[in-house]
Amino acid sequence: MPIIDNHVISFSMNILILGGTSEASELVELLPQYPDIKATLSLAGRTKSPVLPQINHRIGGFGGVAGLVSYIQDQKITAIVCATHPFARRMPFNAQEAAKIAGVPIIHLLRKPWLPQASDNWIEVDSHKDAINHLSLKTQAIILNIFLTVGRLELAEYVNTPQYSYLIRSIDALSAKPIENAQYITARPPFSIENERKIMQKYKIDFLITKNSGGTATEAKLTAARELKIPVILINRPIRPEGLHVEVASDAIKWLVSLK
Ligand code: NAP
CATH code at 3-112+239-259: 3.40.50.720
C-beta of residue 15 within 8 angstroms of C-beta of residue 36: no
Q: Which of 15, 57, 90, 235 has most ligand 1 atoms within 8 Å of CB, for mutation?
A: 90
Ligand 1 center–CA 230 separation, angstroms? 31
* Domain over 122-235 is classified CATH 3.40.50.720: yes
Q: Which of 41, 58, 84, 153 has most ligand 1 atoms within 8 Å of CB, for mutation?
A: 84
CB atoms within 10 A of CB 34: 16
Report domain extents, the chain. 3-112+239-259, 122-235
pLDDT per position as a tens digit, 110-160: 999 999 999 999 999 999 999 999 988 766 656 789 999 999 889 999 999
- CB-ligand 1 contact for 240 (6 Å cutoff): no
- Among candidates 24, 12, 189, which has minimal Cα distance to 95? 24
CB atoms within 10 A of CB 245: 15
C-beta of residue 113 within 8 angstroms of C-beta of residue 86: yes
Q: Which of 41, 85, 155, 234 has most ligand 1 atoms within 8 Å of CB, for mutation?
A: 85
Angle at CA of residue 115, ends 111 and 119, nearest 5° = 155
Strands 7-8 and 3-4: antiparallel
The whole-model pTM stands at 0.90
pLDDT per position as a tens digit, 82-103: 999 999 999 999 999 999 999 9
Q: What pLDDT is stored for residue 141 in this prediction?
A: 56
Ligand 1 center–CA 227 separation, angstroms? 33
- CB-ligand 1 contact for 151 (6 Å cutoff): yes
Look at the alpha carbons of 113, 136, 180, 231 in this order and tell me if their dihedral is positive or negative. Answer: negative
Q: Do domains 3-112+239-259 and 122-235 have the same CATH topology?
A: yes
**CA-nearest residue, atom 35 of ligand 1:** 20
Ligand 1 center–CA 139 separation, angstroms? 34
CB atoms within 10 A of CB 53: 19
- pLDDT in single tens digits along all 260 residues of the chain: 454 455 555 678 999 999 999 999 999 999 999 999 999 999 999 877 777 888 999 999 999 999 999 999 999 999 999 999 999 999 999 999 999 999 999 999 999 999 999 999 999 999 999 999 998 876 665 678 999 999 988 999 999 998 899 999 998 899 888 898 899 999 999 999 999 999 999 999 999 999 999 999 999 999 999 999 999 999 999 999 999 999 999 999 999 999 98
Q: What pLDDT is stored for residue 52 in this prediction?
A: 82
- CB-ligand 1 contact for 2 (6 Å cutoff): no
**CA-nearest residue, atom 29 of ligand 1:** 44
Q: What pLDDT is stored for residue 50 in this prediction?
A: 78
Ligand 1 center–CA 182 separation, angstroms? 26
Q: How far apart are CA 161 and CA 33, in angstroms?
A: 51
